[in-house]
Amino acid sequence: MLDEYLFGSVSRISPEAPVPVVEITSSRRLLGGAANVAANTRSLGDEPILIGLVGEDEASVKLTQLLKQRNISSKYLVNDKSRQTTIKTRVIAHSQQVVRTDREDRHVLSPDIENKLLKRFISVADSIQAVIVSDYGKGVIAKSLLERVIEVCLQKDIFIAVDPKETNFHNYRQVSVITPNHHEAGFAYGQRIVSETDLMDVGTGLLKKLKAKSILITRGADGMSLFQDGAEPTHIPAFARKVFDVTGAGDTVIASFVAAICSGADLVEASIVANAGAGITVAEVGTATVTVPQLKRELERNIKNGNLAAASTSGIHHV
């Protein structure tokens, strides 16, 4: 999808309705959705293979151009004439989001389109280390498609990470890691997370219910909590930063986590890296990517300030 930003200022209220009038001074378009995950993956030095769905429209052309600028191939994208390419437009005034508009289609995939996506995945399955399923609830991550992808990953011992949509949560079975925020995790388990006890119930309950190897629950200002099969939970504190925009933070979390795993990190170490990546991203307006030097500086800063001491894990000394 495309993330479109319109920047401006507000000095008056509209005479037509009680809404601010935003005088637009600049605009930009960025990669959004799974394309932003791919951009983060590329920024961290890995080779992303982006498989997804776009329309046959001007937005898909612009998306392809943006991918090319990031040195990301668009050859595995599938064009669907029956839908438009998703565009999320955010109007920003004085560093605050005033309104967001979405242009999208969310209908179910046709069998032909689903088969095309699956064939593209199978064609590269022997050459990859990991799969990131970035589910935005737009109809692309159909249950049947997801089941086939997971089946292939299990057969080939491919690490599979899922950035979930709460309505599809119970389809993510036997994956390597799921990275919901605390609202999504609570909704999926049917129990709001308002205390540490709730967090433990939801994390361990989902882990068991989905037969997943791990679940990384992002908790905003409260940091992250990693639940692993056969291990005690690990709590990683949030590192103090001024939050400007949480847009795309989940994309950075899962891309950083998987990049760390592919580099030889264990689940705890990967969670710490992902937490550092999220801290960098939320300090910027709009979807953003992080680099290895940025991550190193952030981790060094957190170690120097003693921020990591609160993480309850024996693996912390490997960072």
Residues 6+ apart with CB under 8 A from 36: 3, 30, 248, 251, 287, 289
- Residue 128, SS3? coil
Q: Which amino acid is at 75?
A: K
Catalytic residue among 102, 198, 251, 266: 251
Reply yes or no on whether 229 is catalytic.
no
Neighbours of 55 (CB within 10 A): 19
**HSE-up (13 A, CA, CB side) for residue 260:** 25
User: Residue 204 corresponds to which amino acid?
Assistant: T
Judge contact between 219 and 182, C-beta under 8 A. yes
Q: Are 209 and 203 in contact (CB under 8 A)?
A: no
Q: What is the helix (H) or strand (E) element at residue 5, kind and residue range?
A: strand 2-13
300: which 2 tokens?
């060094």
Closest listed residue to residue 272, CA positions, set 236, 297, 232, 306: 236
- Residues classed as catalytic: 251
